[in-house]
Amino acid sequence: MRTAPTILHLDMDAFFASVEQASKPSLRGKAVVVGGLGPRGVVATASYEARVFGVHSAMPMGQARRLAPNAAYLVPRFTLYRSISERVMELLRALSPLVEPLSLDEAFVDLEAGGVAWDERSARLAGVKLRADIRAVTGLTGSVGLAASKMLAKIASEEAKPDGLVVIEPGTERAMLGPMSVRTLPGVGPATGDHLRRAGITTVEEIVEAGEDELVRLLGKAHGHGLYAMALARDDRPVVAEREAKSVSVEDTYDVDIHDRTRVGLEVQRLAERCVRRLRGAGLSGRTIVLKVRRYDFSTLTRSETLRGPTDDPAVIREAAARLLESVDTTGGVRLLGVGVSGLADYTQEDLFAQAAGERAVAEGPVEEHPAVPAEEQPSLAERRWPAGHDVRHTEFGHGWVQGSGLGRVTVRFETPSSEPGRVRTFRVDDPDLEAADPLPLVLRGHEGGDEAPGAGSQAVSSVPASLPKSWSGSGGGAATSRP
């Protein structure tokens, strides 16, 4: 196990909400909540201003609205988030060939493998430069943790939030971990945490005091051994550059339960098409088709079918999903549907089309992945949807974003990432001068590397937070008790 703090963990601060604040000047410094806005929607990300009211990710959106009724509630713009994430990951890969993305806004980096860090000082310099580069390129902030292992680096980035950097120096790990909650350790969720609490174990130091044999008795051999090692700050997991995907899937939750069997079937077909697009986008195919159904009573059923070989053919996957649906009783109503493909491979077995679709489909020709919609079936102007937070352009007023819509009206605030807070105007939903638009860049390419970026405030450097041991060193613009 290495001793120098050369494992870096980056976690972007309130990523989705921060992107929205950076792109919308009127929302900077305000409570912003991003997620599904329907009755069954959940919070994807809340800005730090919204967290003051108790709003957090995975919370039902209805509860969030009760806690923070005056917050801005926006529909996610995943295409924009992915494009910004790609730029951040490019910066990480410039540091090292060993970058392990965990999500759009989080990754581990082995700085030693990239030759940019070999001790505490060089690691700190690399972390400081990375945070500055991210700010220059994206206009956003990220928190960095540096330690000798992945577990400790992630704990350090948690303590650095928001907008900070914390280094766990060699030899201080045990003292730092001891008073922390058992929930701090990887693999300790609510259920395991409750089980340990009932046994009188609430801190990491109490895990060590209980001993490895007691942990094995309480949690089983594999979990007990692993948890005891982590309590002793032992974590030999390497940074893995390529995290192999185990499956590709899509799912939708419906605001109102679907009872009509024909509608359920059509939704499954639509989900199968979306799943195929994701498969092809990743250059993958798969052998096992999986159908997920959550019924009206919250019971969840999964059905699967394994083909002779991998495929990415939409007809094969649609028909397999339809066959799986035949074995599921949806009489009482369906609240969620999902289609996935597992057993992934980077090649396709060409004869599977005939296997699943039969000679009939072959005679009719392949089904288009994106069938053309006749002009008379295109949505009319009055049927256009205007998701809250999404970009629009008006012939006269220029670029803006949707604040809300309803009763045949849509309200738009006209502003850009580099403008002052803009004015609000209301239009008919069928106004021919209003159309959906692509997001604008948060930082103009010519300004990257400059002193300021849209939405960026001053970067304060603070002393070590009082809650941390003095052997820790950190800098950042927020208290160490804040969380991502």
Residue at 471: amino acid letter: S
Candidate list 100, 106, 120, 415, residue with the active-site label: 106
- Selection from 27, 16, 77, 32 nearest residue 437 by Cα: 77
Residue at 391: amino acid letter: D
Residue with tokens 């490019």: 90
Structure tokens at 204: 């990491």
CA dist 71 and 129 (Å) reads: 34
Strand order in the sheet with 43-46: 43-46, 32-35, 72-74
CA dist 87 and 176 (Å) reads: 33
Count of alpha carbons within 13 angstroms of residue 12, beta-carbon side: 30
**What's the chain's length in residues?**
484
CA dist 186 and 230 (Å) reads: 8
Structure tokens at 163: 């907008």
CA dist 368 and 370 (Å) reads: 5
Q: Has 106 been annotated as catalytic?
A: yes
Contact status, residue 302 vs residue 289, Cβ threshold 8 Å: no
The catalytic residue positions are 106
